[in-house]
C-alpha cells in the first residue's frame, strides 16, 4: 500500500503556547519534519512495539502511552524521521491520566511546536507511520478530516481523519499547529477515530 501524502493544507488560527511561534515554512513541511517512526526495544522482548511520535521541541518528543507501555528499565526508544534523522532515548515519562507519554531527546533540541485546541469543526490532518499492507514495516501516511466531537469521559476527542495500526502517537495538525495525538479507533463505528489533546502533555514537562 502506497502512503497517502497530501500537500494542500489549510492554515487556521488557533491558540498556542506563548513561547512558540507559528512556522514560517509551509505547514506540510513543518508537520512532516516533526513526525517520527517509533520502535521500542526492550530487553528480552522478541516483538518490539512500533508506532509514531511528534518532536515538540525543547529536547522532547511525545507519543501515545500505549506505544511505550509497559516501560521497564533498559528499554530504549528509537525515533526516525522521513528525512533520515535518528534519535534514541531511554528516558520516558507516562501520564497517569491520558494516553500520552513524554520522550526525552537531549541530543536534538528544536524550537517548541505551537499547540492548537481541538475545537469542534476544525479541519485537521493526521500524519504518522501506519503498518503497510504486508505488515512488515511502517510507511508514512497522511489523511484529512475534522474535529467531530467534544471531549469524552477520558478527555479524548473524536475526529474523522482515518488512522490505522501504527498511527498511534502520530500528530493531528491544523495549519502547522499540533492539535493532539492519534490514539485509537472505534471499530464498531466506521469513521470514529480519537486523539488525545496536545495540552495533556503539560503535566509531564
Range of 89's domain? Answer: 35-104
Question: What does pTM read for this prediction?
Answer: 0.84
In a domain, 147, yes or no: no
Alpha carbon distance 187, 181 (integer Å)? 18
48: in domain:
yes
| Dist CA 30 CA 44 (whole Å) | 37
SS3 of residue 195 by DSSP: strand
Say if 130 falls within a structural domain: no
Q: What is the pLDDT of residues 153-172, one digit of tens each?
A: 999 999 999 999 899 999 99
Domain assignment present for 135? no
Q: Structural domain tally of the chain?
A: 1
Does residue 52 sit within a domain?
yes
β-pair partners for 81: 36
Q: Classify residue 173: in a domain, yes or no.
A: no
Q: By three-state DSSP, how is residue 196 classified?
A: strand
Residue range 16-40, pLDDT digits in tens: 344 455 454 589 899 999 999 999 9
Q: With contact defined as beta carbons under 8 Å apart, do 143 and 197 qualify?
A: no
Write the CATH number for 79: 2.40.10.10
Let me know if residue 99 belongs to a domain.
Answer: yes
Amino acid at each position: 500500500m502506497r502512503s497517502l501524502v497530501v500537500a494542500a493544507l489549510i492554515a487556521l488560527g488557533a491558540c498556542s503556547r506563548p513561547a512558540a511561534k507559528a512556522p514560517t515554512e509551509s505547514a506540510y513541511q513543518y508537520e512532516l519534519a516533526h513526525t517520527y517512526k517509533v520502535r521500542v526495544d526492550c530487553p528480552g522482548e522478541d516483538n518490539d512495539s512500533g508506532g509514531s511520535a511528534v518532536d515538540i521541541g525543547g529536547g522532547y518528543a511525545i507519543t501515545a502511552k500505549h506505544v511505550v507501555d509497559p516501560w521497564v528499565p533498559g528499554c530504549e526508544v528509537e525515533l526516525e524521521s522521513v528525512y533520515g534523522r535518528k534519535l534514541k532515548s531511554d528516558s520516558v515519562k507516562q501520564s497517569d491520566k491520558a494516553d500520552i507519554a513524554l520522550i526525552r531527546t537531549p541530543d536534538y533540541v528544536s524550537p517548541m511546536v505551537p499547540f492548537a485546541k481541538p475545537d469542534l469543526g476544525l479541519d485537521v490532518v493526521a500524519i504518522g507511520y501506519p503498518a503497510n499492507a504486508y505488515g512488515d514495516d511502517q510507511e508514512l501516511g497522511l489523511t484529512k478530516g475534522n474535529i467531530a466531537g467534544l471531549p469524552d469521559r477520558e478527555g479524548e476527542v473524536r475526529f474523522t481523519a482515518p488512522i490505522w495500526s501504527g498511527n498511534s502517537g502520530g500528530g493531528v495538525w491544523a495549519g502547522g499547529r499540533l492539535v493532539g495525538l492519534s490514539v485509537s479507533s472505534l471499530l464498531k463505528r466506521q469513521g470514529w477515530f480519537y486523539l488525545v489533546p496536545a495540552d495533556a502533555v503539560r503535566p509531564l514537562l
